[in-house]
Amino acid sequence: MQRRTITTVLSGLLLLVPIARAQTSATSPSAIFSRVHSSVVVIFAMDEHGERTVQGSGFIVGKNKVATNHHVVESMSQAYVIFSDGDIKTVTGVVADSAEQDLTILSVETGPRPTLALGDELALREGDSVYALGAPRGRFVAHRAELHRCQRWE
């Protein structure tokens, strides 16, 4: 698979969804999960013998583009994406990759599924509520947390 370095700096794979200070029903944990869970995926990476070596998660970031951690797919010879509706698609390539940022964008047929827009991390302030989304061990989850420290890297 041909790889191209990611030029946009993203901090990790956790999708941080900022939440308004005055929580409304649209920003409740169940509403956020309902809105975004269909964009979260499970990824299985296989070695050259067809053995599953790694399981990770990711999310749809664009038409036929799925973001995941670099370490999930770094030694794969083949990978599959399992969507929240149970559909399974084969990864057809790597769009962009950065081992340093532990981020990879995979090429995979996403169909009409919704994408998740990346937030503006520069707009986050200490004390803001955020959600970390993923599918550890194949279970789709959203964890709420408060941002305790914001550090800007130049």
Output the CA–CA distances (angstroms, integers) from residue 64 to 7, 10, 115, 136, 150, in the order listed: 19, 19, 10, 22, 32
Question: What is the band of 154 on the pLDDT scale with cuts at 50, 70, 90?
Answer: low
Beta bridge partners of 40: 59
State pLDDT tens for residues 110-144. 999 999 877 777 788 888 877 777 776 666 776 77
pLDDT value at residue 2:
37
Task: Please tell me the distance from the alpha carbon of residue 82 to that of residue 122, in angstroms, as a whole number.
Answer: 32
> Tokens representing 5?
């370095």
Q: 89 near 107, Cβ under 8 Å?
A: no
The single-letter DSSP state of residue 39 is G
Give the number of residues written for the chain: 154
CB-based contacts of 59, cutoff 8 Å, min separation 6: 15, 36, 39, 40, 41, 66, 67, 116, 133
**Residue reference for tokens 């990864």:** 91
Q: What are the pLDDT digits (tens) for 5-63?
A: 333 333 334 444 444 444 455 577 778 778 888 899 999 888 888 888 788 889 999 99
Q: pTM of the full predicted structure?
A: 0.74
Instruction: For each of the domains in the chain, give its residue range(s) and CATH number, in order of start.
Output: 25-146 (2.40.10.120)
